[in-house]
Amino acid sequence: MSEDLASLAKDRGIRYFMISYTDLFGVQRAKLVPASAIAEMQQDGAGFAGFATWLDMTPAHPDLFAMPDAAAVVQLPWRKEVAWVAADCVMENKPVLQAPRTILKNMVAAAAGQGLRVKTGVEAEFFLIDPDGAVISDGKDNASKPCYDQLALMRRYDVIAEICDHMQELGWKPYQNDHEDANGQFEMNWAFDDALITADRHSFFKFMVRSVAEKHGLRATFMPKPFPNLTGSGCHIHVSVWDESGTTNKFHDESDEMGLSQQGYHFLGGIMKHAEAIAAITNPTVNSYKRINAPRTMSGATWSPNTVTWTGNNRTHMVRVPGKGRFELRLPDGAVNPYLLQAVVIAVGLSGIASKADPGKRLDIDMYALGHTVKDAPRLPLNLLDALRAFDKDDALKAALGTEFSEAYLNLKRNDWNNYSAQFTEWERATTLDI
């Protein structure tokens, strides 16, 4: 792909570029730049006021410039005169160290410095709901076990097929789409790739799904737990580590019972060791913990972990090894920041390799039925505040992700928790008026 965006615009008939970056809360920020100005923007960046977005800045900070990464340009399949392009944030000619894409690029570079190339795939679940957000959009989708329901899937064929067609056109190699475990919930899968590519695609995917849903008069949400009685939306991530050329899977060991190499076990050990702390990143909202710590849902299972355990091909644990040479982290939810998800997994994995971390005993039990019998495994945080406290105590993880990021993230997320705690609820009135 040409690195000259002006030439690309001329060749492809692009009239506008959407220069986009993702802030600390996972919100996508963009400026629409006419193709006639893109050469200047590619050199100098599109200007933003960082304080106006979810970055830990003040109105006194200098201009933030979003530098478009030509390698990440995506021509919108549904509006071809517009191209979306992921951007890196700079301020006074220096990278903004709290910016999520910068953090991920730093972690990718750290892995590359060890001759490692992290490849990942994500399973992004979402709901299609009415525009006002009150109910799911399909009144007929009311089965108690709706997972893989073919009629419900086909009633949303126009939306799902259009999104999948777009992914095929973009070369993402989508391979399956399904109705998920909650009424009104769907999942779409595409091929795994290098961590930065997956993060850019994950970011664009959320924008694309919302855009196509709106076109059809619907609303898409990646909220972790939009309905109390239904299964929440996860964002499981499949992880493998390859050599520098990307041809040899360094996690794969055919002689091992699980098909994992010692390096793979150590990487997994890093995830297990830091699990309580990474929840602050992988499960970043107040609502996230309504999914992790949910009671039994209408379908009979939450499909969400609440304890730090790992296993083989068993979906009731935080980590499962579904096949040789890779594992699946089932902790993240739909609200996770696409870039911070990849960055934190690489950070704790590299830490595990460096310290030769032991992932602990594999448990081959049904955690939903027998989890109460496991006495020595840590529990995942009960709420966002507990997760933030765990993250703040993890000095090694904060150092790996960067002090500027860690302080900024904790500051904004603590404010988020405080704003939530200041809300006066009907539950308080119902349970306290007569005390």
Q: Could you read off the pLDDT of 179-229 as tens digits, one per residue?
A: 999 999 999 999 999 999 999 999 999 999 999 999 999 999 999 999 999
The interaxial angle of helices 384-393 and 403-421, nearest 10 deg, is: 160
Q: What is the pLDDT of residue 2?
A: 44
Best CA proximity match to 87, nearest among 56, 53, 112: 53
Best CA proximity match to 104, nearest among 44, 174, 21: 21
Q: Could you read off the pLDDT of 374-387 as tens digits, one per residue?
A: 999 999 999 999 99
- pLDDT exceeds 70 at position 1: no
Q: What is the pLDDT of residue 3?
A: 77
Q: Could you read off the pLDDT of 235-293 as tens digits, one per residue?
A: 999 999 999 999 999 999 999 999 999 999 999 999 999 999 999 999 999 999 999 98
Structural domains in the chain plus CATH codes? 5-92 (3.10.20.70), 107-426 (3.30.590.10)
Q: Could you read off the pLDDT of 296-322 as tens digits, one per residue?
A: 787 778 899 999 999 999 999 999 999
Q: What average pLDDT is seen over the chain?
A: 97
Low-confidence winner among 18-27, 53-62, 177-186, 287-296 (lowest mean pLDDT): 287-296
As beta bridge partners, residue 85 has 19, 73
Residue 249: CB atoms within 10 Å? 18
Cα–Cα–Cα angle for 192, 234, 240, nearest 5°? 30
Percent share of the chain, pLDDT over 70: 100
Q: What is the pLDDT of residue 293?
A: 86
Best CA proximity match to 104, nearest among 5, 12, 251, 237: 237
Tokens read off for 284: 């970043």
Give residues with Cβ within 8 angstroms of 433, minimum separation 6: none
Check if the beta carbon of residue 52 is closer than 8 Å to that of residue 67: no
Find the farthest-apart pair of alpha carbons in the chain and give their distance in angstroms, rounded: 72
Pairing of strands 185-190, 174-179: antiparallel
Q: Could you read off the pLDDT of 331-358 as tens digits, one per residue?
A: 999 999 999 999 999 999 999 999 999 9
pLDDT tier at 18 (50, 70, 90 boundaries)? very high
Predicted model pTM: 0.97
